[in-house]
Structures are given as structure tokens and as C-alpha cells.
Amino acid sequence: MKKRLLSLMLMLTVIVVSCLPANAASKTSSLSTDSQTVSSTLNSSDSLFKPDFKLNSKAAILVNLDTDTTVFSLNADKKMYPASTTKIMTFIIVMEHVKNVDTETATYSEKEYKMIEGTGSSNAGMKVGEKFSIHQLLYAMMVPSGNDAALLLADYVGGGDINKFVNMMNQKAKALGCTGTHFVNPNGLHNPNHYTTAHDLSLMAKYALTLNYFIEVTNTTVYNLTPLNKPGTKRQLTTTNYMIDRGAKGGEYYNPYVKGIKTGHTDESGRCLVTTAIFGGRTYLCVLMGAPVNSNTCGEMVDTTKLYRWIYTNFNLVQIASANEPMCEIPLKYAWNHDSVTLCPEKDVTAVLPEGVSANSVDVTPNVPSFAEAPVQKGQVIGTATLTYAQQKLATVRLVSSATVNRSELVHSVSTAQEIFAAPWFIAIFTVIVVLLIVYIILAIFYSRHKRNIRRVKKYRRF
């Protein structure tokens, strides 16, 4: 009888335990491993970050390069024809595949000449048989927007196969995160299958700005091109970018703060322009596409001036978070004399804000776990925080521990025991065991009495 009771109790215990959740005995914090450090974007549809004037261009994007923040965009993902702004990508591919632009050379041939003959497109005036360094050809391509130079560079880097070079352009565009771009030539002559977006073009320009010679070449107003094999022959090349040339168009479009980068226009693309501007320690990248081409006014340059004036006049760069200042704190388990851990931004965060607005006006929304567990290392990522102003997201920054806190094994053991004793699954098992024990005792008592009664009956029967 006793064996049967014990078997029954064990069976019930196993059934109860097996019905408990698998993770019932393991309750730990969920520490963030978000890989994003600082990202930011402003919603240009909101009046706070929307200029009060209309643009001539069909598509535009304005990016603060100090924070990598898009502060304004118009049809930035719309399919557009890039014209000669294509040469930004051509420059990229050349710089990535030519080891020494000063010593490597290429000779202009009949092949390149025939490809642009009769197109009426811009060129550097190169003659068949003239030899140039790759460095010279970069100037010839970017300063006067020479399609002849672009073709020669593509032919050289492509090993005689311009289509191979174009494939390299498309591969690089994808690698840079461009999702609306497809190239069919290295110079931007119109083709229905040759297109990009203002956003994609900004990605290309941002990358190109990191390359050697890019700023130097694209900010040059006049360049003297002399063939290496004809030292007595010199031709002067003049920039097509009136915004960097004080003497062009009577200085109508000149802006002393604008640096580079590239113009472009065809009947189909309209007028396009990519520039940067530096003023007051702030750097911006501006891309305009699709301004009217049948106008006496360079609408894309007018738009560029207006956008730069608007952003520099009405907005400032403000540090909205400091790596040295706590942003929040959360409870900490298993540490001696530490019941919380302070979280700070992983790095300083700067954002574009309207003139007169300080960091005190920025709202902080932490996204952190309910607690952390020791040990915690200084600089360990534990969560993130979203920074907003006027319901506009300014940035998301990772939050890290401000100090190293070691685990106390004694506190850990005691806390673990307390958690186990307070856990619903433990209470359930303990309750079942107590109930089974009571049942066992009651049954044992009845069983014992039953045996005594049997003994008495047997004893009386002997008499």
C-alpha cells in the first residue's frame, strides 16, 4: 500500500513539473545589441523643416554632412535622368581601380572619337593620338564635363571594354545602397535605361568626397590640359559650374561657400547640379535634378542658392547629447552596493535644429530593458534612446554603461534563491508536494488504523 502511495505522488509531481514553461526557471534581462550607433533623419514634409519657397527642380535632397542628416527632400526617390552627374560614379570607379593616377596613361583613339562624334555633347577637345595621365583625364572629365575623357577613362579601366566598366558602375551603386539607379554609359548621354534618383546621387557624392583628388578636381575652375606626347599643345578647360566661378555669367551664380561638384543637363534630364557648401563650421551636400533646360536661368543654381541660404539662416548644429552626461538609469541585479546602473550615450550627438532652439527642448525616449545583470562592463551597450524635437525624430543613439560593476556571487546566490522561492512555478510545485504530503499522511493514518483493526479482529478470533 505504501509503495502504491509513493508511486502515485511521484507520478503527480512529474506531471505538474512537465506542464511548467520551459523558461520558468530562467528569468534574465534582455540587453540590447542594436548595431545602430547614431542615425538621424528629419521629415521635410513638416513645416519645421520645409522651406517657404518653391523650387524650379523636380527632385532635390539636402544633407548635413556633419551629422549625415537629410534635412530636406523633394521627390528624392523619383526616377530621374542624371546627365553628366553620372561622372561622379565614373570618377569613383577610376580611383578605385587605378593604382597610380599620375604614372598610368591612356591614349585617345578613333574608338572614343566615333562614340561621341555628332552628339554635340560637351568634351575636352582631345585629339586622336594624344596621350594623357589618368590624373589629367580626371580633370578633363570633371571640369569641362568632357564626355571624351569619360569614355577614354572607362575604356582604360575596363581593359578595352566599356561595358565592363559600366557593369562596375552598377555594382558599386548597389554596394553604396543605391536602389533606384542603373547606368548604361560612363558619361551620362541620354538613354531611357540610364537613370538614378536624387537620394542615390547623394550617396554616390558622399562616398566620392572621401576619395583622393575629388574635392581638388571638382572645385577647379580652370585647368590647362597638355598632352604628354605633345608638350607644345595646350588647351584651357573651364568649369561648367558657375557657382564656383566668380567670372562666369558675370558672377550671377557665384557663391563663395560652394565647393564643387558636378553639373549636368540634357533635354530629357533637365538641369542637374550636385554641390557642397561650408559655412560656420557646417557642411551640406545639395542635389538638384530636373530644373527647366529651356530657360535663360540656371534654375538648379538658383535653387541651390536658396536652399543653402535657408538652411544656414534658419538652422544651427546643436549638441543634443553628450557621452559624458547620464541619460537614464535602470535597476541592476547581483551587485554588491549597486542597485542600479547609469546609462550614457555611446558618443556625442549633434543635430540640426531651428535657430534659437537648445538641447533642453529635445525630448529623450529611452528604449532599455527593465533591468541589467552584473557583471556589466563600462561601455557595454544596454539600450538605445530616440531624440526628438517637435515630434520630429532627430537621432537614435546607443546607450552604454557608465561604469564597470562586478558580480557578487553571494548576492547572486541569495537573489537566485529568492527568485526561485518567489517564482510561480516553485510555489506551484511546493503546493502540490505539500498537498500530496498531507494526502499521504492522511492515507497513512487510515492505513495504520486499518491494520490495527485487522490485528484486533484476528486476536479475537483466536479466542
User: Would 24 be classed as within a structural domain?
Assistant: no
- pLDDT tens digit string along 298-357? 999 999 999 999 999 999 999 999 999 999 999 998 877 788 999 999 999 999 999 999
User: Would 306 be classed as within a structural domain?
Assistant: no
pLDDT at 410: 45
Written as nine digits, the cell of 405 is 560593476
Q: Say whether both 335 and 231 belong to one domain.
A: no
Q: What is the tally of structural domains in the chain?
A: 3
- pLDDT tens digit string along 164-187? 999 999 999 999 999 999 999 999
| 229, 261, 296 - which closes a domain | 296
Calculate the average pLDDT of the chain: 87
User: Would 335 be classed as within a structural domain?
Assistant: yes
CB count in 10 Å sphere of residue 380: 16
User: Could you tell me how far CA 9 lies from the centroid of its own chain?
Assistant: 60
Say which CATH number the domain at 242 has: 3.40.710.10
pLDDT at 432: 79
Q: Indicate the pairing of strand 69-74 with strand 105-107.
A: unpaired
Range 246-250 average pLDDT? 94
User: Would 4 be classed as within a structural domain?
Assistant: no
Place 28 in a pLDDT band, splitting at 50, 70 and 90. very low
Domain that includes residue 450, residue range: 423-463
Q: Say whether both 271 and 128 belong to one domain.
A: yes
pTM: 0.79
Measure Cα distances from 413 to 296, 334, 409, 440 in Å. 81, 8, 6, 33
Nearest to 301 by CA among 291, 311, 309: 291
Range 66-93 average pLDDT? 97
Q: Say whether both 386 and 450 belong to one domain.
A: no
pLDDT at 416: 57
User: Would 77 be classed as within a structural domain?
Assistant: yes
Q: Say whether both 233 and 103 belong to one domain.
A: yes
Range 85-95 average pLDDT? 99
- pLDDT tens digit string along 223-235? 999 999 999 899 9
User: Would 212 be classed as within a structural domain?
Assistant: yes
Say which range, 13-27, 48-62, 183-197, 220-234, has the weakest mean pLDDT.
13-27
Q: Say whether both 388 and 247 belong to one domain.
A: no
